[in-house]
Amino acid sequence: MTNSDAKVWLITGSSSGFGRSLVEAVLKHGDYVVATARKPEQLDDLAQQYPETIHPVRLDVTNLQDVQAAVESALDQYDHIDVLVNNAGYPAMGAIEELSDDDIRRQFETNFFGALSMIRAVLPTMREQRSGHILNISSFAGVVSLSGLGIYSATKFALEGASEALAQEVKPLGIKVTLIEPGAFRTNGAGSSMVTPKHPITDYAETSGKMIDVMRLSHGNQPGDPAKAAAAMIQVVESDDPPMRLALGEDSANGIVQKLDAMKAELEAWKPLSISTAFE
C-alpha cells in the first residue's frame, strides 16, 4: 500500500545514467519507485536507504516474460502505477552499411520494441485507473538524424511516431504521454554502453567515423547533468498540462528548432509541386 499523495513510478534501465539519477530524485521527492534493471543488485545501496519506497525488480526490456513479471510485481507491491518511464536504451553508432544485422536488430529490440512492450503491458492498468503518465526517453536524435546515427535515430523516430499516436489514443482515457529529447548528457551512453561497427569501412571514416570519434571524445565532458534532467522530468510529471515533447539541453532545444525551421522552409519552397498532384 502507498501513501495516497505519492506517485508510483516504474522506471526501466535504473542501473546508471538517467535511470539511476531519476530513481534517486524520485525517492528524494517522496514518491515510490519500481526500479528495474538487468542487475537489480546495482540498486542495493538505494534499497537500504529507502526500504519502504523502492522496489527493485530484475528486467531486461527485450524479454517479454520479464516485462509482464515486472508489471505484476509492481502491482503486487504498490497496487497501482502512475508513471512509466521507458528509459532503457543505448546508441548503436555507425554508418547504415557498417553495423551488422544483429547489431541493428538488437538496437530496435531494446530502444523501440522494449519500450513498446512496456507500454502495452502497463496500459490495461492505466486504462482501468483512468490515469497515468508515460515518459518515453527519446533523444535529440529522435528528431534530427546525422551520419553515424542513422540506426539509433531510426529507433527513436519509431518511438516518436508511436508516441504521437498513443498520446491521442489514451488522452480520452486520462493517460498522458511525453517524449523526452535529451542532447548530450554525462552518462555511460557515449562510454561503455555505446556499440560501434566491428568492421568499420574506410569510405565512412569522414562521416560516421568522425561522429563516433566526437561521441567518444565527448564522454565525461557532456554539458548535460542527469540530475537536472531528472528534476525536469519530475516537474513534467507534476505539471497539470505537461508537454508532448520536452527537449533537454541547449544543444537539443536549438538543434530541433533549426531542423524544424529548415524543414518548414523546404516544404514551403516545394509547396506548388506538392499540391499539384490532385486529380483535376
Ligand X SMILES: NC(=O)c1ccc[n+]([C@@H]2O[C@H](COP(=O)([O-])OP(=O)(O)OC[C@H]3O[C@@H](n4cnc5c(N)ncnc54)[C@H](OP(=O)(O)O)[C@@H]3O)[C@@H](O)[C@H]2O)c1
| Residue closer to ligand X, measured from CB, 106 or 127 | 106
What span, in angstroms and rounded, lies between the C-alpha atoms of 83 and 81? Answer: 6
* 94 versus 189: smaller Cβ distance to ligand X: 189
Q: How far is the CB of 248 from ligand X (least distance, A)?
A: 8
Find the residue with minimal CB distance to ligand X.
17
CA distance 13 to 136: 12
Question: Is 156 part of the annotated catalytic residue set?
Answer: yes
Which C-beta is closer to ligand X: that of 2 or that of 62?
62
Look up 152 and say whether it is catalytic: yes
Task: For residue 42, report the phi and psi dihedrals to the nearest 5 degrees.
Answer: -70, -10
Q: How far is the CB of 47 from ligand X (least distance, A)?
A: 16
| Closer of 233 and 272 to ligand X (Cβ) | 233
**Which of 21, 117, 138, 163 does the annotation list as catalytic?**
138
> Residue 149 CB, nearest distance to ligand X (Å)?
10
**Given 3-state DSSP classes, what are the helix, strand and coil percentages for the chain, each rounded to the nearest 5?**
55, 15, 30
From 32, 78, 152, 204, the catalytic residue: 152
Question: Nearest distance from residue 137's CB to ligand X, in Å?
Answer: 4
* Amino acid (1-letter code) at residue 280: E
| 32 annotated active-site | no
Q: Pick the catalytic residue: 73, 78, 90, 156?
A: 156
Residues contributing to the site for ligand X (CB under 6 A): 12-13, 15-19, 37-39, 59-62, 87-90, 110, 114, 137, 139, 182, 184-185, 187-189, 193, 222
Contacts 24+ apart (CB under 8 A), 97-105: 97/201, 97/204, 98/197, 98/199, 98/200, 98/201, 98/204, 98/208, 99/151, 99/195, 99/197, 100/197, 100/198, 103/151, 103/195, 103/197, 103/198, 104/151
- Output 56 or 89, the one with its CB closest to ligand X: 89
d(CA 39, CA 14) in angstroms, rounded, equals 9
Q: Is 137 exposed, middle or buried (0-12, 13-18, 19+ CB in 10 A)?
A: buried
Least Å distance between CB 68 and ligand X? Answer: 14
Q: Of 124 and 223, which has the nearer Cβ to ligand X?
A: 223
What own/partner pairs with CB < 8 Å and gap ≥ 24 does 201-208 have?
Answer: 201/95, 201/97, 201/98, 204/94, 204/95, 204/97, 204/98, 204/147, 204/148, 207/95, 207/147, 207/148, 208/93, 208/94, 208/95, 208/98, 208/147, 208/148
* Active site members: 138, 152, 156
